[in-house]
Amino acid sequence: MSVLSGKKVLLGVTAGIAAYKSTYLVRLFIKEGAEVKVVMTPSAKEFVTPLTLSTLSKNEVFSSFTNEDDDNAQWNNHVELGLWADYFVIAPATANTLSKMAQGQSDNLLVATYLSAKCPVYIAPAMDLDMYKHPSTLETLSKLESFGNTIIPAEHGELASGLIGKGRMAEPESIVVFLEKDISDQLPLKGKKVLITAGPTYEAIDPVRFIGNHSSGKMGYAIAETAANLGAEVVLVSGPTSLSMEEPSVHVIRVASAKEMYNAVHEHYSNCDVAILSAAVADYRPKTVASEKIKKKEGELTIELEKTEDILASLGKTKQQQFLVGFALETQNELENAKTKLEKKNLDLIVLNSLNDKGAGFGTDTNKVTFITRDNKVTPFQVKDKKEVAYDILQHIIDHLDA
Ligand code: CTP
């Protein structure tokens, strides 16, 4: 999934011939899952019509402080527009607009919105080659960069004047790729390897029967997806679930038993930065697995069980750089039991869910958790969607990773 998915992109269009390319840009942003609004300078309307841009963006296009076509002239609020955006992309940006931005002028809606925007601003300049290399332009661009804006460099090629040189606006595809790379490079888990377990385990009794539990895997899958969206390289070791992973960058390893989960986890543990074990691993398995289906007989059947490997505890024993997170599902003495587990398994964080809480536990889309840290800090949370719980867990890890 693109880092632009679900993001609000405000596209600023100024009066250059490259404005016609802004129509493609709108379409590409929408294809990546972004919501797009367009703000234009008044003269940009001579190059591309607001109707085209509003049809493509499926949103009203803004070009003046008041909506002149409206009898009850409405104020177009530049502050609101600036605050709405997650990213403000000005493409094409003419020399005139760049200069106004560098000077802090606000005589049209676009530059006023620029002054109000708190989000990252990307600028794709477009002008003739001599204008582009003029010391005034170069100084303007470096000034704008020093303000924290990002310049998407113009490209070399044939210009509207017929001259050949540097000044063409970057192609819409290149602008989108530039943005996606820049955004993902700044994600908080960029460069981090996160190992996650999810779901139940099935411990075979015979070829057709097993001992399992009701875990749906939803919590672990939500953590894996969210970690990937925050830039991490994610390995998800999943027990048998009906879920499918929506995020293609997550490396999913499907296992059935605790033993298989143990092996898969250990294969990826040594070089990971974070391990989050949310799987509901069976604590016991049949001591022997019948090679044929066990036939019904008179009387009772006893299955002898042996302990499975405690995967989490084994990771705690060899923990080095890893930030280790475990879950505790408790029905009584919740806090006390969870704290004991945190210490015994050498964890950095334990996420407690109590089956006594409404909206917590297996199968549901929500969870109610309490965080307990090594230094005994206890943080209870409200009932939340599992995706939000996933975000809270990862945010806690981000805050403590390099601390
Ligand atoms: N866990 C594990 N391997 C096991 C059992 C549990 O990795 N064989 C992990 C779970 O993924 C979870 C944590 O240990 O993160 C706590 O699991 P839980 O079943 O609540 O605790 P147990 O240590 O098994 O103790 P008990 O069942 O007695 O509460």
If phi over 0 gives left and psi between -120 and 50 gives alpha, with beta otherwise, what is residue 52? Answer: alpha
**Does 343 or 74 have the greater pLDDT score?**
343
Say if residue 372's pLDDT is above 60.
Answer: yes
N-term to C-term CA, the chain: 30
Q: What is the CATH number of domain 8-186?
A: 3.40.50.1950
Distance in angstroms (rounded) separating the CA atoms of residues 14 and 18: 9
Q: 327 near 278, Cβ under 8 Å?
A: yes
Kindly report which listed range (42-46, 86-90, 155-159, 352-356) carries the lowest average pLDDT score.
Answer: 352-356
Q: Which two tokens stand for residue 157?
A: 């090629």
Ranges of CATH 3.40.50.1950 domains, the chain:
8-186
Q: Report, as residue numbers or ranges, the catalytic residues.
A: 213
Ranges of CATH 3.40.50.10300 domains, the chain:
193-286+303-402
SS3 call for 123 = strand
Distance in angstroms (rounded) separating the CA atoms of residues 371 and 199: 20
Find tokens 């209870």 and name the residue: 380
pLDDT of residue 70: 54
138 Cβ neighbours under 8 A, 6+ residues apart: none
308 Cα nearest atom in ligand 1: 8
Mean pLDDT of 33-41: 97
Distance in angstroms (rounded) separating the CA atoms of residues 25 and 12: 11
> Class of the 193-286+303-402 domain?
alpha beta
Model pLDDT for residues 253-272, shown as the tens digit of each residue: 999 999 999 999 999 999 99
- The protein residue whose alpha carbon is closest to atom 14 in ligand 1 is 312
What burial class does residue 234 get, using C-beta atoms within 10 Å of its C-beta: 0-12 exposed, 13-18 middle, 19+ buried?
A: buried
Percent of the chain with pLDDT strictly greater than 70: 97
How does strand 8-13 pair with strand 323-330? Answer: unpaired
Q: Where are the beta strands (DSSP E) in 239-308?
A: 251-254, 274-277, 284-286, 305-307
337 Cα nearest atom in ligand 1: 29
Say if residue 373's pLDDT is above 70.
Answer: yes
Model pLDDT for residues 295-342, shown as the tens digit of each residue: 999 999 999 999 999 999 999 999 999 999 999 988 889 999 999 999
Ligand 1 in reach of 338 Cβ (< 6 A): no
Distance 277 CA to ligand 1 centre (A): 9
197 Cα nearest atom in ligand 1: 11
Distance 402 CA to ligand 1 centre (A): 27
What phi, psi does 81 have (nearest 5°)? -60, -45
Find tokens 């995706």 and name the residue: 387
Q: Which two tokens stand for residue 179?
A: 């943005």
Distance 391 CA to ligand 1 centre (A): 22
Cα of 90 vs its chain's centroid, Å = 24
Measured between alpha carbons, how far is residue 60 from residues 38, 51, 56, 57, 348 in Å? 8, 9, 10, 8, 49
Model pLDDT for residues 2-22, shown as the tens digit of each residue: 899 999 999 999 999 999 999
pLDDT of residue 74: 74
- 120 preceded by a cis bond (ω within 30 of 0): no
